[in-house]
Amino acid sequence: MTPLRIALFTGNYNHVEDGVSRTLGRLVGYLLDQGHDVLVFGPTIDDPLDQPGRFVAVPSVAAPGRPEYRVSTRFPSSARHEAARFAPHVVHIATPDVLGHKALRWARSLDIPVVSTYHTHFASYLDYYRLGLAEDALWSVLRRFYDRCDEVYAPTPTMRDALLKHGISSTIRLWPRGIELDRFRPEARSPEWRRARGFEDDEVVVSFVSRLVKEKGLDVFADTVRSLQREGRPVRALVVGDGPERGALHEELPDAVFTGHLSGNELSTAYASSDVFLFPSDTETFGNVTLEAMASGLGVVAADAAGTASLIDSGATGLLCPPRDRPAFLDAARQVVVDADLRHRLGHAAREAARAYDWSEVLARMLSYYRALAGAKE
């Protein structure tokens, strides 16, 4: 079969390691391994992450209030020339930012098929930054963007339904995320790792793994852990990740263990060496960390929100709580902290459920989408 050329435009590929950059890096690596060619366009930094594929940097500025992220400002003529020489069969836009809008206009002018993956549920962030009144305007912009794409790929059925509810009329297909079952596994648990970080053998370790930003539900996480401790439960928090809210969270949970950013075997050990994964975020489009915790055999307590709800069968593979409902999160967390049998039962079922998310199948699905669109233009 003819090798494809894919032009990928994204707001983050190599300047912050997060769910978007990891997912796109894995996709690019897969495509290259399959003999296809990929050219990635996006903002960058002086010391970028090591990601696969050829990369074309575009002008950017630091994101307001989140300086670790870069925001594109232009699709300059030099980058346009690179894209034109590459002559892609398909343009894949991962972020509806300035670069994404300009790339969409460029591709449409040349009649190149355009697809977009829905990675970030931007509208759900607004309340955390007191911008709730801007939601209608934001969805209006997103509708105009996505409706000009040939196809949009949502990570879960509930997220697809959310896009349909807000009037997205483009073809919406499912493209979930995958999991490395040989990496995230219960057998990675290490009593020695726990003791080295000051945890007692009889303590129930309640973990949180993510960027430390307001929209991840840090306030609910901290409140739940503190409430359990006030009840006399033998719990301590394990916080894996970094971000602008680390200092504030440390003030709320001074006895928590903060590891900073972890990757590789350190990350899989951290997951498996905890007992409960508490993730109140209601802004996820998929919930990569939730799936990693499930694969690690943890009892998961998470928000019943569009991204995560499709991963967990509440009561069977984890417990779901109404978003931001602090009493509900406390009650659910108390159940899995107090009842070790329930914890183990949920964890075992979660591990089995995670087996359905095999990366090879997920990535092959995206390639099939590309091929169908490129073939339709031939």
For residue 211, give Cα distances in angstroms to 16, 122, 150. Answer: 10, 16, 32
| Percentage of residues of the chain with pLDDT beyond 70 | 95
- Please give the backbone phi and psi of residue 205, each rounded to the nearest 5 degrees, phi first: -90, 120
- pLDDT in the model for residue 138: 84
What is the pLDDT of the chain when averaged over all its residues? 93
Q: CA-to-CA distance for 239 and 319, rounded, in angstroms?
A: 20
- Other CB atoms closer than 10 Å to residue 361's CB: what's the count? 11
Q: What is the mean pLDDT of residues 212-225?
A: 95
Q: Given a cut of 70, is residue 303 above it in pLDDT?
A: yes
- pLDDT in the model for residue 83: 98
Q: Which domains, and CATH codes, for the chain?
A: 5-178+358-377 (3.40.50.2000), 186-354 (3.40.50.2000)
**Two tokens at 324?**
């931001």
Q: What is the mean pLDDT of residues 40-61?
A: 96
Q: CA-to-CA distance for 174 and 364, rounded, in angstroms?
A: 13
Per mean pLDDT, which range of 119-123, 230-234, 245-249 is the poorest? 119-123
For residue 59, give Cα distances in angstroms to 48, 62, 144, 191. Answer: 15, 11, 24, 47
- Other CB atoms closer than 10 Å to residue 344's CB: what's the count? 15
Secondary structure (DSSP) of 73-142: ----HHHHHHHHHH--SEEEE---SHHHHHHHHHHHHTT--EEEE----GGGGGGGGT-GGGHHHHHHHH
Quote the pTM value: 0.81
